[in-house]
Structure 1
């Protein structure tokens, strides 16, 4: 017999929705040339991603990458015959990996991106060869479009899945899903996730806080 039980901890839900807001804000500030705000948001997103990667190893069962990692064959089979799954399904594993990879590329390339201003250049611009900076700047400019396209695919897939099969959007909001007791994952307290997030963000702001204040 199924009942509403917690399948997502606070850490996973906080990461998911915060990432949505941060990427939207990063795109806007980048387009508007608000570089101080852009860099502050970027460091916040970097800390969030690092905390999620660590949580993906030590966190709740449903948050661990090892739990929902799937072979390409399993992912293709799921796309052909989708069913409601508690937690991430086999196909979503590859979308998660892709999004984390693209976000990471965007963050790392941003550290070495030239912005036609010594004040708002990435912090690594002054210490890297000019050819590397040009490559990083090109990657940063191109990768954002790839990232936005991947996010678009992810949103459409989530909406279709929620309307036609399983309301994964509601589950990610509430953390609860209708599953059998035997399927219930073991959840961990999310405090460690937030400690890691705060610690990494503090280090990044200690490193670049002075430069950010100069831009504001």
Structure 2
């Protein structure tokens, strides 16, 4: 009886690919930051490739992955966002099965910023030219240096957005008493007390593993092509 209750009051909300990509992106951005500030540009370049692969996979998984991973299921319009914002002061708001309307903005903005920062880095020109981006040969030295400065500037903006994201996680944990980190580790969240009977209706279904494999192969091919500047 207790086991059955545990099964119905804890819903799977994040699949393994989403959780793995989330934490790998955290690690990847951290490595990019550390290698950048310590002028370890060779490793900075490789970590940039890794981040590019992860972002491409997350974008792909947002189209064909499990229901809670798909953008179409959590990206909402202005009205839904404003309606959700109007409930932020309440502690008793029901769980969102996946990203809520406001959190969706954070996800989309961060993915967009990370992709923009990586693309700028691909065209950036290093001062001594030793570790310029693989696509820097497509731009002039002056333009490449400008893109390098933009790469640095937009990465700092990304750090502020990440800080805001962490602040939101802390706000939910302290004020709204919602642990957002746990589900991103083990994949499950508690079902609201009044909705135990709806568990079967909201239980997440995993997308086919083959979809992930196909996406991984395509993303790897794209990153490889970028790394050799499309010179086949």
Tell me the TM-score normalized by structure 1.
0.88
Could you tell which deviates more after superposition, 166-175 or 156-165?
A: 156-165
Q: Who is 1:63 aligned against?
A: 69
Give yes or no for contact 1:62–1:187 (8 Å, CA) kept in 2.
no
Q: State the 1:191 CA deviation.
A: 4.9
Q: Who is 2:13 aligned against?
A: 7
Q: Who is 2:181 aligned against?
A: 169
Q: Who is 2:220 aligned against?
A: 201
Change (3 A) 1:150 1:194: farther
Q: Who is 1:213 aligned against?
A: none
Change (3 A) 1:194 1:153: farther
Q: Who is 1:144 aligned against?
A: 155
How many pairs are equivalent? 210
Q: Who is 1:47 aligned against?
A: 53
* Secondary structure in structure 2 of the residue aligned to 1:5: strand
Could you tell which deviates more after superposition, 40-49 or 200-209?
A: 200-209
Q: State the 1:134 CA deviation.
A: 3.3
* Secondary structure in structure 1 of the residue aligned to 2:190: strand
Give yes or no for contact 2:135–2:226 (8 Å, CA) kept in 1.
no
Q: Who is 2:195 aligned against?
A: none
Q: Does 1:101 align with 2:112?
A: yes
Q: Who is 1:212 aligned against?
A: none
Change (3 A) 1:161 1:17: same
Greater relative contact order structure (CA < 8 Å, 6+ sep)? 1
1:78-109 CA distances to partner (integer Å, 9 max, x unpaired)?
12204321211000111111101110110000
Tell me the TM-score normalized by structure 2.
0.83
The root-mean-square deviation of aligned C-alpha atoms, in Å, is 2.1
Matches within 5 A, 1:114-133: 114-133=125-144
Structure 2: gaps of 5 or more residues: 192-198
Separation in 1 of the partners of 2:210 and 2:26?
21
Separation in 1 of the partners of 2:86 and 2:183?
23
